[in-house]
Amino acid sequence: MASSKRADVAVDPWIAALDHPMKPALVALCDALRAAHPTLSTRIRWNAPSFGPGDDDRVTFRLPPKGGLQLVLHRGAKVKDTTGFRFDDPTGLVVWAAVDRGVLTFADAADALAKRDAVCALVGRWIAATA
């Protein structure tokens, strides 16, 4: 199981080299998630920062090439049985692509920053629900 400090070593240089209009928002959200959930590992998966317990990815950023920023809530790379799985989003921020795959989309850096606390709370609930 990788420690979050070890995984962060790979993430920080990746972010430093990133050339994307939403980089400031990505940095702010990554920093907030790391602070709110210090036990989660962070690594680069699918060409973006991904968070999860140990080696399991559960929350992954997506950086569309033409701009924008998304955060994908998922249960890992492999499809899992969704029988009985349920997750309530009291924030209304998530657009559900499937019962166990949701996407948060941020219009710009200000939008991401305004939702930072709600995102951190939502991620905590998601991690607990998918453990």
* Spatial distance between the Cα atoms of 103 and 20, rounded to a whole number of angstroms: 19
- Lowest average pLDDT, out of 1-5, 63-67, 115-119, 126-130, goes to 1-5
**pLDDT confidence band for 32 (50 / 70 / 90):** very high
* Spatial distance between the Cα atoms of 90 and 86, rounded to a whole number of angstroms: 13
Distances (CA, A) of 97 to 12, 73, 104: 29, 10, 11
Which amino acid, one-letter code, is at 22?
M
- Extents of the domains making up the chain: 4-77+90-129
Q: Quick check: 76 and 58 in contact, CB under 8 A?
A: yes
> What is the mean pLDDT of the segment spanning 18-45?
94
> What is the mean pLDDT of the segment spanning 60-78?
88
Max Cα-Cα span within the chain: 42
User: What is the pTM assigned to this prediction?
Assistant: 0.88
| pLDDT for the residue numbered 1 | 37
Which amino acid, one-letter code, is at 8?
D
The highest-level CATH class for domain 4-77+90-129 is alpha beta
